[in-house]
Amino acid sequence: MALTETLEDYLQAIFHEENEKGMARVKDVAKKLAVRASSVVEAVNRLKEAGYVLYEKGDFIRLTEPGQEVAQRTFERNLVVYRFLDQVLGVEPEHARKLTCGIEHHMDRQFFDALSALCFFFERNSDVQEKFRRFADSYEKGMICDMYATLDQFGKGDTLKVIKVSGDAFLRQRLIAMGLTPGQEIVIERVAPLGDPVDVVLRGYHLSLRKEEAKCIKVEKI
Amino acid sequence: MKSTTQYARSYRDVQTHKLPTVALIGNPNVGKTSVFNALTGSHQKVGNWPGVTVEKKEGRFTYEGQQVAMVDLPGLYSLSPYSLDERIARSFISQEQPGAVVVIVDASNLERNMYLVFELMEMGVNLVVDLNFMDEAKERGIEVNSKELSRFLGVPVVETVAFRRQGIDELKKAIVESLQAPRRPRTFPFPEKMEKFLQQTEKLIEDSCHHDIQTSSCFACGECAAPNHPVIGFPVRWVAIKLLEGDLEVNGNLLSSLPEENREVFAGHLRSLRQAVQAEYQEEPEIVVAEERYAVIHGFVKEFFHSRSTVSRRMKLTDRLDRYFCHRYLGLPIFLLLMWLTFQVTFFLGEFFEESIEGAFEVMGEAVITFFGGVGIPWLGSLLGEGVLGGIGAILVFLPNIFILFLMISILEDSGYLSRGAFVMDRLMHAIGLHGKSFIPMLLGFGCSVPGVMACRTLESERDRKLTLLVVPLMSCSARLPIFLLFTSLFFSRYQGTILFTLYLVGIISAITVAWVLRKTLFKGEVAPLIMELPIYRIPSPKNVLSESWRKSYLFLRKAGTIIFLVVVLVWLFASLPVGVEYASIDSLMGKLGEFFAPLFRPLGFGFWQASVALIFGTVAKEVVVGTLGTLFGGEAGLTEALSAYFTPVSAFSFMVFSLLYIPCVATLAAIKREAGWKWVGFAMVYLTALAYLVSLAVFQIGRLLFG
């Protein structure tokens, strides 16, 4: 039978108590989950009905084999979700723990496998991880357009479409007045001998821009 | 307004007779100067816009008995309040209310050029559109029906090829006619969505009107029926556009015209309107407005200019030339070669004339001295021969250099190469906080600081211009060379080349350091962006180039000449007074001054009055230092011996470093004054002297420790 989220939490708590102390007592489980002992007894009785634990009044709580299995699985999910939040997304540990408690109950096998793979992938590719973090940072700061590349990232001969012009008011106004409006097609004609500035063609004329300015122009390659 | 100008008199006529004024405006590189020259001929006067170093040209012409005063506005791409040039143009149009505005359009490059035209039409000014470069446009397969266009825009349209004077009479006619019967250009509707927001903004402005024309606080609402907003001076629609764009200047002016209690409400309404635009378009309002403007222009250009978009001969040539001029490996060597040529032509061709001028003045001076000596008043002979003629000579000697320099720069600029030079050099110059174009003034500084400082005009941004002209004097000019040659041959005969090279290096390193420090302190803040058009190459018109160069050289002579002349005469007086002393001897005022300053130079290793006097003379012209030392130490023969007695190699090096870095000659100061004003002359003198003192002090003290 499927367990409710609360029961899963109880199972988890019992699992941890057993692992840490070798046995799980009602008192300790209540303390761990910050609930009354009577609530624990009630939950344990329902877990017993489902066949996940063995329990007699005044005795320890013991996980049955299916109980072990379910608890183990939940624990693994918990770990993977926490790792994802903490290491990949960079969520604060305390907040990550809270979120994990919610998310772990809603995972199926497929999600679990995919998430594990993702965590593993980021662990193996720390440069990608780093890049992603930077991207996420600016994304959070509202610079949604960082999803697009900027003009300075392209080279000679590339034909691009302007998506957006950012930068301070002065710069933006300047660039727009020169015809770099969203949707405008531009071609990178050449790059200066020392790598900066670039020469682009738009609206039938040549315009040179420093990379500093080109960084403010979000583009899409055509 | 500065009054000491060539055409001061005719200009005063212009003012007293209240001639109708016409402003000339346009993008850079559209042949605006040729149009201006073709219209006004030699009736021009040049000054600066009040308070800034942006050149202001005025002129006039007569057409069928009607005199018209022309004012040339700075070249610009739009009328935002962000750059100095744009603010100058905008405030001229709003405050001086010229009778008409002529906008020059490069007919071969319409879209971007029309942007400014549309902005001007929004302003509701009495406009004349001049389609210039019609020959080039035709070659590109652009066909214009200017009659139809004129009807559509609601303003006269004239076709010209200014540098061949084609269409200039028609332009004059159109200007005079538009002055007699001013017209309001057509209002172009923005796309519907935008128009809705604009009308809401217009209503907001009109609703805040007090309907009180007497106190001119009426907001030109429909009720009061005034054509323009009385505070801003432009149509309400334009004010609305600017408010939506978030134009700080208009916004501030409008708010301060409102009664205080209404301001907050108005600002709140405006804010929510801007937010509504932002929400609708997912884009800042100012960008939306510009985008929509370009969208309208795009459709308009398609409709009125039938283009077969052929590639013209000039475009092909431009493409081919840029393949070399901007080439990855060839670009820089070609630039350096061209600079070297400019340098050579300026200084070596200049030198030829320079020597003849110097020679002529020497002969004249001697003749005058001999003459007055003969008639028994030698002091007058000395005053006229050494003081006055010396002063005039000191000015004229710069003329050939300056004229040739302006010639070369005009050619580089008008042909379109200058922006390529900036393109290839920008990376290097930007690293030390300067602009690609700063390279040219600095390079010229190695020849003479005066043309170097003057070449700073090619820089558009005021910040770049000032920064560059402040470091140009640190480039060791050719007049300092005699000092270096004298001392190195005496004290460093074995390492003469190395020491010379070191001195140049000290100058360059100082310039880089100073530029860096100034950028971090005095010129802190935004670095001017490089957003520069690379225009197509054109053959410069010899007439334009010659007349521009002559005009600029003449202006320099007039403005700087007075200062140079005064200082030269003053120095002569100091060296000759009190009456009867030997010229510049210890008994003269100059000698006393030298004696006074000498102790200051003791820590630098040359604390004797002769050195101080030589350095004071050096502010007249650096090459005078050697001559002065010669005189003070008893002529050429005694000089070698005296110098060996007074100087050690270390103090000699310290003296050379000081001469390299301290106050530049008076001509350079005069040029700085002309380009940036007295404040910067003062700043340059103080910082250069301080720098020279510190570096020389370090050189001497460390040198003494190392070499004893």
pLDDT tens string B341-366: 877 787 678 778 878 887 888 888 88
Euclidean distance between CA atoms B614 and B619, whole angstroms: 9
Number of Cβ within a 10 Å radius of residue A130: 11
The pLDDT, as a whole number, for residue B308 is 66
Task: Kindly report the backbone phi and psi dihedral angles of residue B536, in degrees, each rounded to the nearest multiple of 5, phi listed first.
Answer: -75, 155
Average pLDDT, stretch B684-704?
93
| Over residues B106-128, mean pLDDT | 91
The two three-digit tokens of residue B284, written as one number? 């800042």
**Lowest-confidence segment of A135-144, B334-343, B459-468 by average pLDDT:** A135-144
Helix (H, G, I), strand (E, B) or coil at B422: helix
pLDDT tens string A149-163? 889 889 899 999 998
Task: Give the model's confidence band at B7: pLDDT under 50 very low, under 70 low, under 90 confident, else very high.
Answer: very low
A70-127: CATH architecture:
Orthogonal Bundle (1.10)
| pLDDT score for A173 | 83
Where are chain B's structural domains? 8-180, 192-306, 564-707
**pLDDT-based confidence at residue B614 (cuts at 50, 70, 90):** confident
A positions 189-208 inside 8 Å of B (CB): 190-197, 199, 203-208
| Chain segment B570-585, per-residue pLDDT in tens | 777 887 777 777 776 7
For residue B52, name the pLDDT band (cuts at 50, 70, 90).
low
C-alpha R_g of chain A: 28
Q: Are B421 and B374 in contact (CB under 8 A)?
A: no
User: What is the reported pLDDT for A142?
Assistant: 56
Report the CATH fold assignment for A5-63.
Answer: Arc Repressor Mutant, subunit A (1.10.10)
Q: Hey, what CATH topology would domain B192-306 get?
A: Helix Hairpins (1.10.287)
Confidence class for position B51, pLDDT limits 50, 70, 90: low
What are the start and end residues of each CATH 1.10.10.10 domain in chain A?
Answer: 5-63
Amino acid B202: pLDDT: 87
B376 in the Ramachandran plot: left (φ > 0), alpha (ψ -120 to 50) or beta? left
pLDDT at B9 over 80: no
Q: How far apart are CA B73 and CA B48, in angstroms?
A: 11
Q: How far apart are CA B561 and CA B4, in angstroms?
A: 13
Contact state of B426 with A196 under an 8 Å Cβ cutoff: yes
Q: What is the mean pLDDT of chain B?
A: 83
- How many angstroms separate the CA of residue A150 from the nearest CA in chain B? 16
Alpha-carbon B645 to chain mean position: 47
On whether the CB atoms of residues B25 and B35 are closer than 8 A, the answer is: no
- pLDDT bracket for residue B5 (50, 70, 90): very low
CATH superfamily of A147-221: Ferrous iron transport protein A (FeoA) (2.30.30.90)
Low-confidence ranges of chain A (pLDDT < 70): 1-2, 138-147
Q: Where in chain A is the domain with CATH 2.30.30.90?
A: 147-221
Instruction: Pick the more confident residue, B657 or B383.
Output: B657
> Is A179 within 8 Å of B112 when comparing Cβ atoms?
yes
Residue B40, min C-alpha distance to chain A (Å):
30
Instruction: Report ipTM for this prediction.
Output: 0.79
- The span from the CA of B682 to the CA of A117, in Å, is 69
The residue in chain A having the minimum alpha-carbon distance to the alpha carbon of residue B334 is A193
Residue B690 has pLDDT above 90, yes or no: yes
pLDDT given for residue B214 in this prediction = 45
Burial (CB count <10 Å: 0-12, 13-18, 19+), residue A31: middle
pLDDT at A45: 87
Amino acid making up residue B263: R
pLDDT recorded at residue B400: 83
Two tokens, residue A134: 């930077």
- What topology is assigned to B8-180 in CATH? Rossmann fold (3.40.50)
- What local confidence, expressed as pLDDT, does residue A49 receive? 86
Pick the closest to residue B421 from B403, B400, B443, B453 (CA basis): B443
Q: What pLDDT digit, counting tens, does each position of B55-67 carry? A: 788 999 999 889 9
Q: What's the whole-number mean pLDDT along residues B443-466?
A: 81
Identify whether B20 is preceded by a cis peptide bond (ω within 30 of 0): no
In angstroms, the CA B158 to CA B130 distance is 5
Region B458-466: mean pLDDT is: 81
Which of B431, B457, B463, B432 lies closest to B444 in space, CA to CA?
B457
Using the Cβ of A217 and the Cβ atoms of chain B, whether some distance falls under 8 Å is answered with no
Q: What is the mean pLDDT of residues B426-432?
A: 87
Identify the band that residue B559 occupies on the pLDDT scale cut at 50, 70 and 90: low
Per CB-CB distance under 8 Å, the chain B contacts of A193 are 326-329, 331-332, 424
| Per-residue pLDDT, B13 | 44
Nearest-neighbour CA in chain A from B26: distance (Å): 13
Q: Report pLDDT for B309.
A: 65
Calculate how close chain B gets to A127, using CA atoms only, in Å: 29
Q: What is the pLDDT of residue B53?
A: 59
Q: Which of A172, A191, A205 sits opposite B533 (nearest CB)?
A: A205
The bridge status of strand B21-26 relative to strand B66-72 is parallel
pLDDT at site A131: 81
When pLDDT is averaged across residues B234-260 and rounded to a whole number, the result is: 86
DSSP secondary structure of chain A: -PPPHHHHHHHHHHHHHHHHHSSB-HHHHHHHHT--HHHHHHHHHHHHHHTSEEE-TTS-EEE-HHHHHHHHHHHHHHHHHHHIIIIIS---HHHHHHHHHHHGGG--HHHHHHHHHHHHHHHH-HHHHHHHHHHHHHHHTT-GGGGSEEGGG--TT-EEEEEEE-S-HHHHHHHHHTT--TT-EEEEEEE-TTS-SEEEEETTEEEEE-HHHHTTEEEEE-
Are the beta carbons of A172 and B419 separated by less than 8 Å? no
Question: Does residue B465 have a pLDDT over 60?
Answer: yes
Running DSSP on this structure, what letter comes out for residue B458?
G
**How far, in Å, CA of B609 to CA of B595, rounded?**
5
Nearest CB to B533; choose among A164, A193, A207: A207
pLDDT category at B226 given cuts 50, 70, 90 is: low
Q: What is the pLDDT of residue B18?
A: 73
**Max CA separation in chain A (angstroms):** 89
Mean pLDDT of B67-96: 86
Chain A segment 60-99 residues within 8 A of B by beta carbon are none
